[in-house]
Amino acid sequence: MLSCKSQTEKDNKEKLQSLARKIQLIQQNYNQYKDNLIKSNFGNILNPQRIKNDKDFKESDKIIENAKKALHLFNTKNLKYINYLNTNIKLVKPIDKKGSTQKDIDKVAQIIKLSSKKLEINYKTDSTVISKYYELIEMLKNGDCKYVIKGNNFIFNNKFCLSKFQREITEIQSESLKGIDKNNEYINKIRELYKQ
């Protein structure tokens, strides 16, 4: 018969392994999200030749719609995973304050916290980027800014529209870079915790 302490240790080990699997599901969900964006053709949303062939902007609208759906699904799944993790980490019972179980609990709790922050950054960044691309497509679609496509470039017939287009592109790039930097910061912190 197992002692209470050894049964608790066994239960804790199983619970921590279950939490680790959920943390892995977050990364798998992120990979699926990225695959969905690629399949939606989001990377070509402002490709001038694609736009030239998309006379009524139906394809552009569909790309934006699919990107928004992919982001929503990604976020919904991750919120479920994070809620599961936050709830179930509390079920792991420390054996003693100085024991390895408490250290493992603290480490997993910190990984959950950092993963949650990383997901918030990813969602905020991608939501902003998708919205900015939507605004650019709307600008091209609504006719307020007249343009022609020459080669692989948009040529606007006034400086205001050109300036607005360039500003939006710069904001997209800036937001993306900030998101990547913050994301990498959290990834590095999580990796350090795994090494401990």
Taking only the tens place, the pLDDT of each residue in 165-180 is 999 999 999 999 999 9
Residue 185 exposed, middle or buried by CB count within 10 Å (0-12, 13-18, 19+): middle
> Is pLDDT at 2 greater than 60 in this prediction?
no
Residue 120 in contact with residue 75, Cβ under 8 Å? no
More confident residue, 66 or 196: 66
Q: How confident is the model at residue 53 (pLDDT cuts 50, 70, 90)?
A: very high
Residue 158 backbone dihedrals phi, psi, to 5 degrees = -150, 155
- Residue 58 buriedness (CB in 10 A; 0-12 / 13-18 / 19+): exposed
pLDDT of the residue at 107: 87
pLDDT in the model for residue 10: 80
Query: How crowded is the C-beta side of 65, counted as CA atoms within 13 Å?
Result: 6
Indicate the angle between helix axes 100-142 and 159-195, nearest 10 degrees.
170
- Give residue 130's pLDDT: 97
Mean pLDDT (the chain, rounded):
90
pLDDT tops 50 at residue 4: yes
> What would the mean pLDDT of 120-138 be, rounded to a whole number?
95
Residue 143 has pLDDT above 50, yes or no: yes
User: Rounded to 10 degrees, what is the CA torsion of 5, 6, 10, 11?
Assistant: -30
Does 14 score more than 70 pLDDT?
Answer: yes
Prediction pTM value = 0.87
